[in-house]
Each structure stands twice: as C-alpha cells, then as structure tokens.
Amino acid sequence: LDSDTTSTATKNSKPAAKVQRSADPSKPEPYSPSRAADLYSTYADDDDQGVIGPEELEKLFGDAGISLEGSLPLLLAWLFGSTEMAKVTKAEWEKGTAGLRISSLPALSAALTDLENLLVHDKPPLKPAQTTPSSKKNTSSSDPYDRSQYFRLAHDPKKAFLEFYLFVYTLSKPPQSRNIEIETACALWSVILAPRYPMVDDIISFINEKGTYKAVTKDLWSMMLEFCQTVSPNLDDYDPEAAWPTLLDDYVSTKKSKVDGAPSNANAI
C-alpha cells in the first residue's frame, strides 16, 4: 500500500512539483502573511477585491498545478471554510492561509494533496517529521506548511472524512433548496466517494440508467456514506428491511436480481 502506485495521486502531484521547481528549485518559500496577501490580490476578482471568483480560482488552480476535476477544490473549500462553491472571500483566505501557514502555491498544493491522500484515497497518514517539541518553530522549515492541523485530522480520518463529506453537501446545496440535484450529487460522489468505495460508481450508473431520481436529500446523502462504510461490496449483509433509503433498496434489489441471473461471482469487486 505504501508504494505510490495510484495513478490519480501521481497525476495530481506532478504538476505541483513542476511549479515548485520553477519557483524555487530547492525549497518552498517560508510563510509570511504579506506574501499570502500578495498571492490573494494576484487572483482576487478585478471587479470585487473581496472575493476570488470561479474564473480566478480556476486560474489559481491552474497555476498551482491543481486539478479541477478531483476533490482538491472541495478540500480547499473545506479547509478555508467556504460558504459558496468556487468562491473564496478575503476573510476566508486570510484565516485559511494563516492557520496553515501557507503563502505560496506549492505549499497550498502540498496541503491539499496531503489531505486528499489521507481522506479521499484512504492512504496511511504521513509520519510527523522530527517532532522534537523544542524545535517547534523549525517544523515549518522542513514541512512545506504547518501540518499540525493535518496531524489532528489524521488522528481520526473517519471522523474527518464525515465532516468533510457533510460539508460538501452543505456547500453544494443551493441556499433556497432542501436538496441537491441528482446530477450534482452523482458528480460529487464520483469524486469524493468512488476512489475509496468502487461500488459507488456502480450505484451512479444505476441511478443514471433508471433516470427517475430527481434529488438527493441530506438524509440520502449521509446514508450513502453509511452504506459505503458498513455494507460489504457483495451486498450480502444488506438488509432490505432495515432503514435504508428506498434508492439504496432499489439499487440492491436490482443488483441482486441481476446477479441471480448471472454467474455468482460477477460482482466480486
């Protein structure tokens, strides 16, 4: 597991490394609030200096070599406590960068990639590097950013992921609506759940095939994670009499009726 074979991980980290080299071949610059503020103003919306809008954010991600496709933008929103999708306010930025001691794009990229590996790809947490309490100030020199929050989260990744997962729902939900649209939900699931739970892809294709589902309630959203975490991939321990949402009942019964017809090990994931 330790060997870095996952293609997504390498894909995400490579461009970041490139940027890092072009800026400073040996080491990332140390954190400074003014540099963070400079960075902010580079990307802030021309019309509204109080916010980095979607276009600017896309540019920022591009410059930092962060993929827009994966979960990294969502993790950024979570880390910075954003309240709106694809927008970072000045206050959020200041608080976020200060907390993580980030003032450069490579540092930002590193922080997000670390979290993605931990939460979305379920990789073993990084070991704290030279954690001699005396040299606390120095940790920032060996780490690209202040990893103390990372280590706090790494202490209980499951809880951290749940927090992140529920945050994503709130973030994605239009303010006037109770639910999020099924397409949005599927896109999010494929990004944040599917890497850890391959059967989510299967559920998503079931949803698309059926085509009758419209929205995902908060309950269904949280039960989906519960389903992934507690039901085994071959669905043997799924109890249709239990309190699962009907969408999952539908999925499992369709799946099982298909499997019954086909050779038995068809869904051995």
Partner 1 sequence: MLNHRAAHLSFEENHRYGYNLVLFKNGSLLYEGTCRLIVENLEKLVNRDLSPTFPSGSNTDSIQRSQQGETFLKALRKLWEDHTAGLQKLKDILNYMDRVYTKSAGVPEIWDKGLLLFLKHIIHPPISTHIISAILDQIRTERDGFVINRSAVKGCVEVLLQLSDPDGPSVYKRDLEPAFLQESELFYRAEGEKLLESCTAPEYLTRVENRFDSEEARTHHYLSASTDEPLREILKQNLLTPHLTAIMEMPDSGLDNMINLDKLDDLSRLYKLFLKVPEGLTALKKAIKESLIRRGKEINMSSTPSENTDPFVDEETGSKGKGKARARPNAAAQTLTLALKWVQDVLDLKDKFDNIWMKSFRSDRELEGSLNEAFRSFINRNEKAQEFISLFVDDNLKKGLKGKTDTEIDIVLDKTILIFRYLDDKDVFDSYYKGHLAKRLLNNRSISDDAERGMLAKLKMECGHQFTQKLEGMFKDMKVSADTMEAYHRHIGDVDAQGTEISVIVMTSTFWPVSDPSPSYKFPEVLIKPAESYKQFYLSRHSGRRLTWQPAMGNADVRVRFKNDKYHELNVSTFGLMVLVLFEQLGESDFLTYKEIQDAVSISDADLQRTLQSLACAKYKILKKHPPGRDVNVDDAFSFNLDFSAPLYKIKISTVASRVESTDERRETKEKVDGERRYQIEACIMRIMKDRKHMVHNDLINEVTRQLAHRFHPNPLDIKRRIEGLIERDYLERCEDKKSYNYMSDLSSLSDLR
Beta bridge partners of 89: 51
Nearest distance from C-beta of residue 222 to partner 1, angstroms = 8
Using the rule CB under 8 A, which residue among 99, 226, 256, 267 binds partner 1? 226
118 Cβ partners below 8 Å, 6+ apart? Answer: 125, 126, 150, 153, 154, 157, 160
| Binding string, residues 63-102; x marks residues near partner 1 by CB under 8 A | ----------------------------------------
Rounded distance, CA 208 to CA 269, Å?
A: 20
Question: How far out from the chain centre does Cα 108 lie?
Answer: 14
Cα–Cα–Cα angle for 21, 114, 128, rounded to 5 degrees:
100
Nearest distance from C-beta of residue 195 to partner 1, angstroms = 23
Closer residue to partner 1 in complex, CB, 132/246:
246
Rounded distance, CA 223 to CA 52, Å?
A: 33
Rounded distance, CA 14 to CA 17, Å?
A: 5
Stretch that binds partner 1, among 78-86, 114-122, 217-225, 261-269 (CB under 8 A): 217-225
Stretch that binds partner 1, among 1-9, 76-84, 102-110, 241-249 (CB under 8 A): 241-249
Closer residue to partner 1 in complex, CB, 90/218:
218
Note the residues at the interface with partner 1 (CB under 8 A).
178-179, 217-220, 222-223, 226, 241-243, 245-246, 249
